[in-house]
Structure formats: C-alpha cells, structure tokens
Amino acid sequence: MLRIHFFVICVLLALAQITVMSAADLKDNPLAIESALAYHYPPFDKIKDEHFVPAIEAGMREQLTEIDPIANSSDKPTFDNTIVALERTGRLLDRAQRIFSNLNACDTNPTRQKIEKEMAPKLAAHRDQIFLNPKLFARVQELYGNRDKFAAANPSGGGLGLDPESAYLLDRYYKDFVRAGAKLSDPDKEKLKKINAELATLQAQFEQNVLKERNASSVIVDREEELAGLTKDQMAGVTAAAKAEHKEGKFVIQLQNTTGQPLLGSLQDRPLRERIMQASLSRNSKGGEFDTRDIVLRTAQLRAEKAKLLGYANWAAYQLEDQTAHDVPTVNKLLANLASPAVANAKREAADMQKIVDQEKGGFQIAACDWDFYSEKVRKAKYAFDESQLRPYYELNHVIIDGVFFAAGKLYGLTFKERHDLPVYQPDVRVFDVYDRDGKPLAIFIGDYYARPSKQGGAWMNAYVQQSDLFGTKPVVANHLNIPKPPPGEPTLLTQDEVRTAFHEFGHALHGMFSNVKYPRFSGTSVPRDFVEYPSQVNEMWARWPNVLKNYAKHYKTGEPMPQALLDKVEAAEKFNQGFKTTEYLSASLLDQAWHQLNPSEIPKDAVAFGADALHKAGVDFPPVPPRYRIFYFSHAFAHGYSAGYYSYIWSEVLDADTVEWIKEHGGLKRENGDRFRAMLLSRGGSADALGLFKNFVGRDPYIEPLLKRRGLDRAPGSDDSRVPAQPPAR
C-alpha cells in the first residue's frame, strides 16, 4: 500500500522548484558539480570570479532544502536519519565556499574581496538558519538525551549502539548546536543573528584592510648607500620590488605581516631601520581608509555581547570551553608563568647587545629596530657564524624534495611524484601525487611557496578536498608560504626560519593526508585550535635531524653538504635569542587574551592605550621586544579562527616538545615511530578526545619540562618553574 503525506508532496514540489532554479543559476558553472579531475581536484583553469556567488548562493539554498525534511520528519529521530543525514548536507556549498576562501586567501583581487564582504553576513545567517532551527535541534537533543540508553548493546559506543566515532559525532553535534545558541529564546536568537552577521562583515573588512595596508606601507629608499649590509640576493629583492611597484630607479622594502621585518638583521643604516620598524608598528592605526582601530573596538564589543548572550563571562571563556585548555584561568596561568622568565632572558640578551653598541660608541640604547641587527653580532661573537652563512645551503627545491619529502618517506614510507597536467591558479604553484607506503595513491599535495601582493601574510595549510569514508573522498591539501621570490634566474635561498616553516606546514598537510575517518566533521585538522598546531610542530624536528639535514642542506652552487663545523655551531646556538622569540609571542598571546576577557561594559575607548596598559599589567612591556603582532594587524585574533586562541602555539608546543623527546628515546626517524604516530594520532583527525590521543601515543600525561629546556627557560635565574603547570588539564 502506497501512502504519501501532504507534507511530503509539498517538500517534493519545493525540491523540484529549487532544483530548476539552481540548474539555471549554475549553467556552465564548474563549481556546480564535483570535479572530474583526480581526487576531485579543483578545475582552476575553468573557475572564474563570476562563478562564486551563484554557486555559494545555490549551495545555501540546496543545503536548506536538504535540512528541511530532516527537521520536519515525523519519524522518530535516529542516528542515521538525523546526524548522518546532517553530515550529508551542504556538499555544493562546502565545495564552492572552500575553493573561494582558499583562492581569496592566496590570490585575492578586488572582485574576490567584494564577494567576501558580500557573502560573509549571508553565510553567517545561513549557519544560523541551521543551528537555530528549533525542530532540528529537538531531534538532535532527543538523540543526545538517549545516548546512554541501551549502552549494553555496545559499551564502547557510549549508548544507542553506536561505534566510538559515531558516538563522538553525536556529542559534537549537540555541543555545536548549544554553542551556536540553540537553547536561546526566540528574541535572543534574533539578537544573536544580528551579532553574527555584523561580526562576519567586520572580520572580512579587517583582513582586507590588513592586506591593503601592508601593500601600501612599503618603505622607499632613494640611495643605494642606505642599503649597506644587504647581500646580493637581498639587493636583487628590493630592486625587483621597486620594479613591481613601478618605482624604477629606487629601492623598495616590502613589509611582511609580522612586526619584525627580515631585512632589519642586515641593514647597517640605523635611521632606515627606524623607518622600517615605525612603518611596521604603525600599520592600520595611523588614520586613513585602512585603519582598523574602530573595527577592533566594535569586534571586541560584539564578541563580548555574544558571549554574555550565550551565558559566558567573556569571549575567551566561550572559546576556551571547547578547547583542550578548557578555561581562562588555565591559559592565564600558563602565559603568566612563562612571561617572567622569558622577559628576564630577553633583558639579558638586550644587555649583551648593548655592550656591543657601547663598544662601538653607538650612543643609543637598544631599541626594537636594532634587535635583529645586533643579535646577529652577538651570534657571530658567541658562535662564530651568522644566518647569512646558512642560506646558500637552503635552496627551496632541495628543502622540499630532499628535506620535507625525504623525511616523510623515511618516517611514513611516502613517495612523491610531481605532475604538470593539472591546472593551477598561479604559475609558481606546484602539484604532487602522494603515494602511500604500499604504493597506492593517497592524496594530492599543492605547494604554493612564494609571496605576492595578492596573498595574505604568514603561512598556512588548507584542504580543497577532505578525506571522508562517508563520501569516499581522498584529500587534496595545500601548503602556502610567503618566501620572497628572487629575480629570474636566481636561486630561492631560505632562512633558517623559512626552512622550519616548510616542515611545520607539511606537518599540517600530513594531518590532512593521513586522515582516516568516516565523517567529514572529523577530517584531518578538524581538531581543537590548541591541538591543531601540535602535529605540525612535531614535524619541525626533522628539519634538524642529522640524516635529513645532511640530505637537503647542500650548497646551491657546488652541491657540497653543509660543513660539520657550521652544523655544530647551529646546534650550539639552538637556544640563542629565545628570550626575544618567547617574549614577542607571549606579548601577542596576552594581548589576544586581554581583549577577549572583557565583558561588554569594559570595552575601552582608546585601543592603543588599552593595549599598552595590558602589556604593562602582564609584565611584558619591554620596548625592545614589541609583540609579534600589534592588535591592529593581528589577523589571527580579529579575522581568522584564533580569537582568544593565539596561546595555542605555546600550548601545543608543550605536547610537541614532550612528543619529540619520546620519539628520540624510541629511536628517532624510524618507520615504527612514524606508523605509530600516524595510526594513533594523525589518522584520527578530530574523531576522539584530543588529549586522549596524545596520552595514548606517549602512554602518559604530558610534561612541560621539555618545552622549558627547549626554550632555555628552565635555567632562567629567579624563575619559579614549580609554578608552571606540569600538564594541561584532562577534559
């Protein structure tokens, strides 16, 4: 007997109508269907800017159409008809949004920036339509309430007879809904929707202003003699930058997103160093169309109001609840206990530099613009080498192929084959097939290494396609760095930090490529923010591992390996300048927390004064070491997903340093260690409790001592190591 309810007929008619609309909107749109290329690799050569808005808007309509029968079903909610059904929705939207956001980050233009501003509030509203849907939440809530029933059917599944990954997915969905405001009253839901829409617009505007101001803040140099101290390669770089900015006959120093700037370590002319540092520090806070001070104040206000609306003391409390740190006091304690020894070390480092200034009768006190220049002099005096001696041995292709890929081969059995048949969005982008230890295809890896004006600052990994057994998809992941591109015909020689960054970002890529989960919600790097940096930081260890370093650190002209004497000096200087590095990082982390631990009535009128006062109260207001990011160009905190979360790097480093010690104790670069790390952690994505994955790997709770030793903070005179938490709290 066939019975069709009136409601079902209405839904089918609506589906048919929207399908016709979507088909019309998406005619000849390459985003409309999954790519036919390998691994659903994006057809970059066919994608045009005019394709994004129709695809994203059609994707939103399609997902709401998919959500509607789930929310309004008269059937009793089950895991399959509710949670798995939710996981299956939004494929078109995910594909279009993922490709757009990735391209907008690494190769933006005015059209894409306009699209970002236009779509940000619409996407926020779309998410609210799903997570604030009372009927949908009622079904999720009913399942969550029954999760402990029938536990005997499958004790490891936590109820409802679910396997562990499925049980964890139910838990995460329920929490996602609650944290999105599903339990709010209808009037409060309307308030939340308005806040979310405005925040989305502000975050897009902040990121665009940071990029535009950075590009507009280049330092122009008229006379070549002012550039004394620069190497031949560096001179070629500032000459090429002048040509790119149509300032032939002059020299242009382009700024990076961080406060510190690479050329400050080489330039002998102090007035020029002062100009560069001032240009960097004043970005986005000196008036004009790219000033972000009002954006910062309004964003902080709205985040505080949103947190209060959701029942939290402040934005940091809201954000941290869902992280492994779990609460504000824990993060405050970690940062505060590291700040004192870090600043003490930085002041000793400054004193060493001041001695050289005085010996040279410089007649000035060490300032932020001097740090890199004089720290190099100290390095030379103490260790008889400087960073410029290393660069000829760090040629980009050798670092990637013979370093990053070589280590992955030794540790995990991976092999890589570059391919040139797939389209790219920029000529410098490289594409590699990745083969697993059994020789079977595993993933596609995209390498985008060079800086350009259309690219956001920093370095990052993203996934164009996520691994998922539910959809049978394999990963397409990308690494993005910002290495200055040399003039044609010149080699790309990296700094020590750029080498470290290449290994770091590939650690994220491995997390994405090794993902072996059923549900896309848990794929790859879909883990807590204060855990996501942990695997990537572990991968940094292989940059300095003897047989890896020996394989890639070869002179770009002669092919000769880096001399053992130079290697020994590099090792001896490992803790050099750690006071500076730790202090500049902690200062930014403390600013992030200060802004996000305010309640709505505490938002200041003067953003500059508030930041200065926050650094003073935290005991890190040491002018020669400014924060790695001033708040006005701090995209992590005010544009990306690291608000109240910049502490994550040091938190993850606790786990990282401890894991590195474990790996060293168990034989180092061995397949057994790689296979264990892959099976017990990298492959699990976000499908289980993050700290539980760490504990399963090392067999115990984490210790902080390896981190203190690594950064040279364990020997800081007067530091109270006993006050530093021995481990992050279990959840």
Enzyme catalytic residues: 505
Least Cα distance to 551 among 391, 663, 400, 436 occurs for: 400
CB crowding 581-613: b at 16 or more within 10 Å, else e? bbbbbbbbbbbbbbbbbbebeebbeebeebbee
* Whole-number Å distance between alpha carbons of 196 and 497: 37
* Spatial contact of 59 and 85, defined as CB atoms under 8 Å apart: no
CB crowding 172-202: b at 16 or more within 10 Å, else e? bbbebbbbbbbbbeeeebeebbebbbbbbbb
Q: What string of DSSP letters covers 657-709?
A: HHHHHHHHHTTSS-HHHHHHHHHHTGGGTTSS-HHHHHHHHHSS---SHHHHH
Is residue 465 classed as helix, strand or coil in its secondary structure? strand
Q: Which helix (H) or strand (E) holds 463?
A: strand 460-465
Backbone angles phi, psi at 437, to 5 degrees: -60, -25
* Whole-number Å distance between alpha carbons of 3 and 358: 93
What letter would DSSP give residue 310?
T
* Whole-number Å distance between alpha carbons of 620 and 526: 33
* Whole-number Å distance between alpha carbons of 638 and 551: 40
Tokens of 280: 């960097």
Tokens of 321: 């609840």
Q: Which helix (H) or strand (E) holds 353?
A: helix 328-359
* Residue carrying the six token digits 């007997």: 1
User: Which residues have C-beta within 8 Å of that of residue 242, sequence separation ≥ 6?
Assistant: 220, 248, 249, 250, 251, 252
The dihedral built from the CA positions of residue 396, 552, 388 and 457, taken in this order, carries a sign that is: positive
* Amino acid (one-letter) located at 617: K
* Whole-number Å distance between alpha carbons of 120 and 105: 14
* Backbone angle region of 692, left / alpha / beta, with phi > 0 → left and psi within -120 to 50 → alpha: alpha
* Whole-number Å distance between alpha carbons of 215 and 210: 9
Strand pairing category for 460-465 and 415-419? unpaired
* Whole-number Å distance between alpha carbons of 497 and 92: 38
Least Cα distance to 443 among 419, 410, 470, 407 occurs for: 419
**How far is C-alpha 181 from the geometric centre of its chain's CA atoms?**
26
* Residue carrying the six token digits 């665009």: 208
* Whole-number Å distance between alpha carbons of 71 and 663: 48
Least Cα distance to 600 among 272, 389, 226, 305 occurs for: 305
To 5 degrees, how large is the angle CA 524–CA 526–CA 528? 130
* Whole-number Å distance between alpha carbons of 513 and 442: 7
**How far is C-alpha 707 from the geometric centre of its chain's CA atoms?**
21
